[in-house]
Structure 1
Amino acid sequence: MNRAARARTFHSQPAVTAAADEAGAPVMEAFPALADVLVAARRLEGVARRTPLERSAWLSERAGTDVWLKLETLQRTGSFKLRGAYNAIASLSAEERARGLVTASAGNHGQGVALAAALLGARALVFVPSSAPEAKKRRIARHGAELREVQGGYDEAHHAAEAHAARTGATFVHAFSDPAVVAGQGTVGLEIVRDLPEVRTLVVPVGGGGIAGGIGIVARAMGSGIRVVGVQTEETAAMHASLAAGRLTSPPYGETLCEGLSGDVDARSLALAARVVDGVVLVTEAAVRHAMRRLFEEEGIVAEGSAAVGVAAVLEGAVERMAGPAAVVLTGGNVDGARLARVLGEDG
C-alpha cells in the first residue's frame, strides 16, 4: 500500500451541527470574529514576530503547485503559541492577572504563557506531562514560570491545572479554545493572506484546534474560497475522530513524536472546527519523521513533529485537490536534540 493510500481524509463541515459539553448541554458558540483577530494583531505588535512566508521549491515540485512555508519555527519561544497566550493574558483585567495564572501544556503553550506573563507582570504556573520534551520544560522555567509535572499525558495535566484554579482562585488560561487564544492564533492566517493574497489552500496542524480555528475564521471572512485543511497523525486523532462522529470522541492514543497534537478536544473547539475547517487528514508517524528529515535536508529547518505534519501530508499526497498556491504552517521548532538526532539518523 502506498503512502497516499494510508492517509485518510475527513471533510468536516457537515459532520457537527451543534456542540455539547460532557453533560450534553448545548455550548454557546462564542466564537471570535475577524474583528477580534485584527484587535489581536494590533495587541501583538512589538511582542510576536511577523514570521516569514517562504516558497519551498522542492515541496512545490513534489506537490505540482506552489507551496509556501509559514515559519512559526522562528517565532519567539519557537512556536506560534505566544500569539494566543499573550492575547489572552493581555485581555484579562488587572485583578484577574493579580490572582496568578495557571495553565496546562504539552510544552509550547506553556512557554507562551510563561513569556506573556513575564512581559505583563503576572505570575504563572504551568502543569505539563512528565513526558514532555526536556527542552520545552527548561524553557518554560527559564521564562520565569513555575513548572509542575504530572504523570500521564496532556489531559491529565489539563485536569490538574483546572483543579488548581478551582482550589486557589488562580486564572486559568486555556490552551486552545479560549476565544482570545483562538483570535491570537488567527493572526498567523492574517499574515499569510496579507503576504500571499492569492493563496487557495492552507494546511495547518491540529491538536486542540486553536490555530486551525483561528486561521479558519480569517479564511472564511475573506470570502474567497480559501480551503483550510487540518492535519493530525493516526496516534493523535481526537479532532478527526470527533468530527467524523459528530460528537466529542476520545480515540486511543499511541506513542507519538507529536506530543503537541495529543489529547482530547472540547465542545467549543469541535464546533468551531466544524464551521471553519474543510477537512482533517491523517498521516503516519513514519511520514512525520520523513518530513522532519526532508525539511532539515532541503531547507535547513528544524521542525518538531507536531509542526511537520502539514509537510508530511503534502509529501504523502494526503491533501486531495490541493489548489495552489498553498501555504503550510510550520507551527514550531522545539524538539529535543537527542530526538532530532535519532530522526535525522534514520534511513528512508
Structure 2
Amino acid sequence: MNVVIDGATLFLLAARTPNVREFAFELALCAHLEAGFDGIVSRQLGASTGGNRVIDVACIEPGPGFDDRARITPETIPDAAIESRVGAGEARYWKDCFDCHPDHARSVTDRAIEIGFFESERRGGREYVRQVARYPEDWFGRIVGIENKPDLGTPGDLENQLRTDASLGLFDTAILATASHVTGAHLNRIPEEIGVWRFDPETETREVVREPTPLAPAEPGIEPLDRGATKTDVRVVSVAEKACTRRRLAERAYGKGWRTYEFPSCEKIEPRAYAGTNELPFCRWKGRFVHPAAECGISCPGHDPDDPPDVDLESERDRRSPWVREPDGQRRRQAGLDRFG
C-alpha cells in the first residue's frame, strides 16, 4: 500500500520488531532535519569517552572554518592524524610524529594519505609527510544530540541514556524524539535538561513538547561507567577530553552522514522520496520503507532476486547538505596523481 500525504510517502511503522520501527523513524527524522538545516546530519555515533553511549542522531552546526574543512576531504579524518605532530609546513619523518604504537601510527598515516589529509614524499628511503592544509579546529559549532524512541511504551534503557547525556554534557543540547503521545509521567522520568519532540513521520510534523536546557560542553562532565543495583560508578571527564570527543564525533558525522544503508538485490525494492530527499529504501511488497539489513533477503516471503536499484547516495547527500563529495583540493591532487598513471 502506497499512501501519499502532502506529497510525502507514508512511513508505516507497524514493523515486525522495535529495531525495524526505530530505523524507519530515524530515517524519516534525518530527512526531515536535513531539509531545514544548513549543517551536517548523521546517525549512530559514539557519544562518550568510554564507548558506552551511542547517540541515534547528531546535528553538527557549521563553524567559521567549515568551508576550509570541507575543502580537505569528504572522509572522516582520523583523530590520531589530527593530534599528531604532522603540520602543514615542512614535511616530517612519519615515525617522529606519533606517540602511539608504530603499527597504529603506520595505519593512521596510510589512511590520512589515502583520504588526502596528508601528502607524502620520500627522502633517502624514508617517508616524510605533511598536512595538505592546516586542520581548522573551528570548523564545527553547536552539536545537538537526538535520541529516538518512537514508542515510549517500550523505553528500554532510555532513562539512563538521557541521564548520561545530561551529566556528561557532551552536546550543546540533547533531545528525545518520539512518535508517542507524551504525558506528564513521561516528562517526570526524563531529565529536565532534555528537550522533547513529538515527530509524526506520516505528516512530517514536529511538535516541541519541551525545549531543551543548554548543557555545558565547556565544563567538566560526569560520565556514568557502570550502573549497579545500589550504586553507579562514575568518572569526571575534563574539558580537554570532552573537546577531543566532540571533535571526534563531529569528524565521524562529517564523513558518515545518515545514508548508511544499502539497497538489497530484490525486484520489490525501489528508491522513493521523502521530505525532499530521494533514494530511501521502499519495498512495494511490504508497502513501506524498510530496514534492508534487517528485513530484506532470502528469508523474506516477498523476496524476488534481481539487481539492486541504481542509486547514488553520496550524490544525494552532496545535493542536500553542505558536505562536499569532491573538494577542489582533492580533485587537483587526484589530477596530479593521474599524470603518473
Q: TM-score scaled to structure 1, two decimals? A: 0.24
Question: Greater share of helix residues, 1 or 2?
Answer: 1
Question: Greater share of strand residues, 1 or 2?
Answer: 2
Higher RCO (C-alpha under 8 Å, 6+ residues apart):
1
Q: TM-score scaled to structure 2, two decimals? A: 0.25
The structure having more radius of gyration, on CA atoms, is: 2
